[in-house]
Structure 1
Amino acid sequence: MSPEPRLTEAAYQGPALEADRDFYSALGEDAENRHVVDEFTIPIRSGQAWDVPAGHICRISTVEGPQVGDLNLWNRHDPRERFWASRTRQLQAAHLSTFDRLWSTLPFLRPMATIVGDTLADYGTDAEGGRLHDTLGTRCDPYVSTMLNGVDFDYHCHSNLVRAILPFGLTEFDVHDVLNVFQCTGLNDNDEYFMKTCPARPGDHFEFFAEQDLLAALSTCPGGDLSAPLFGENSDDPVGNCHPLKVTVYALEENLLGDWSEPASPNYRGQHGLTPQTWGSTP
């Protein structure tokens, strides 16, 4: 008889990873004490960037049908601080939902946003191991398309994000690994990444609370609901599976925020073992 499987403990643990569930539940559930300050719809195979001030909530919602969106975040005042998908995967999970936090890169390492609403939270894990809101993979891009399909295509998520951030003074080098909102993914028995059809329906939404002033950018993936393969011999143009996504930014009543304040970075002052005498020296 084989032994019962055991749940291996998470490698990263500690109170710094524990969100105040009562506080964030109240933010997500109290729809009456918020008001719209910005709202727009991103067309298919496009991208847009926008501001989300600290203490505001941003909602991404499906409009006409299932659609995957690739999300990037930056600190609005210092784009060197940006969403760190791999560390978020370690600190939170490979697939995110309510109360998970989106963490920033070194040397900042602090929550950029906290998820406060997810109408697909009950999807859980399907029979093939698929889960939603993925940090396992990253954005599709024209380079891999050219490599795998031999086709130049200018509306992959990477390109959509590049065009979206140019008006904000950023470039292709600022685009980074994404949170794949509404995307259903997992790892197969060969430990290979797979994508499944998006289960979202019109009106489903994903909301995050901005822990700092953010610049956000979102691409409506050219794969649409991902029901058709993007790469390989059986791939074809799935434009008929594409739908727009709506973005809404809400301001909250001040009484909801209580004593909330912007998260601070860890107080590391070790300088990596370097001293002024060793800076620039070689071993």
Structure 2
Amino acid sequence: MPAASGVGLRLRKGEHLRLVDPEGGQTGDLVAYSADGSERLSSGRTFDYNEKVRLSTGDALWSDRSNRLLTIIADEVGRHDMFYAACTREMYALQYGIDDHPNCHDNLSAALRGQGIDPVFLPQTLNFFMNVEIDEEGRLSIAPARSWPGAAMVLRAEMDLIVALSACPSTMCNGGVPPRPLGFEILEP
């Protein structure tokens, strides 16, 4: 997946999705829907049912209808985020005064439309490899990603899914350097 781009794909129940950071320090966004589009990723349910906000091996990503979508079965990095929303054109304009910047929201939305999902309201994403710190007062801050060249995580589909991925175009989420590509592959169990 080229830097600052997105892709949509379909996973069958039991297939594994391997996400790879080929160059290190790159973050990505993932959103998942049931194959019929009736369920979508929920950060709230995911936090509730895992009873934690730091997700890693063994934890599940849950739908807004309380069904497992994906389970993390391997995680070399161990630091991901579900607090920050996908970056948008509006975010770049409001926070940085930049008009028409490439963004994860547009990448994910286009990828989902290509798979037959109309993302009227894009759900919260799993920001994989994104390193977010939480201070004592609950303030969030983005720190450089902890991934290194070749670092990977593997998720197992718990139902037939439509998944969209974005290689985040933000320099802030990627340690202050220009965006780089991300890799993915679908593996049979």
TM-score in terms of structure 2 length: 0.92
How far is the alpha carbon of 1:174 from its aligned partner? 4.5
The residue that corresponds to 1:82 in the other structure is 40
Is 1:199 aligned with 2:181? no
Whether the 8 Å contact between 1:85 and 1:177 is mirrored in structure 2 is yes
- Pick from 72, 92, 103 the counterpart of residue 145 of structure 1: 92
> Which residues of 2 match residues 82-231 of structure 1 at below 5 A?
82-92=40-50, 93-105=52-64, 108-121=65-78, 132-224=79-171, 226-228=174-176
Aligned equivalent of 1:251:
188
Contact 1:95 1:136 (C-alpha < 8 Å) held by counterparts: no
After TM superposition, what 4+ stretches of structure 1 lie above 6 angstroms from structure 2?
Answer: none
Q: 2: distance between equivalents of 1:144 and 1:173?
A: 18
Q: CA deviation at 1:171?
A: 3.0
Higher helix content, 1 or 2: 1
Give the deviation of 1:176 after TM superposition.
1.4
**Structure 1 unmatched runs, 5+:** 1-41, 122-131, 229-237, 253-283
Question: What is the TM-score of this pair, normalised by structure 1?
Answer: 0.63
| Aligned alpha-carbon RMSD (Å) | 1.5
- Structure with the greater relative contact order (CA < 8 A, sep ≥ 6): 1 or 2? 2
Matched, 1:71 2:22: no
Q: Does the residue aligned with 1:227 lie in a helix, a strand or coil?
A: coil
Percent identical: 28
Secondary structure in structure 2 of the residue aligned to 1:133: coil
Aligned with 2:150: secondary structure?
Answer: coil
C-alpha contact (below 8 Å) 2:24/2:151 kept by paired residues: no
Aligned to 2:6: 47
**Contact (CA 8 Å) 1:89, 1:136: kept in 2 or not?**
no
Work out the number of aligned pairs and report it: 187
- Which structure 2 residue ranges, 5 or more long, are not aligned? none
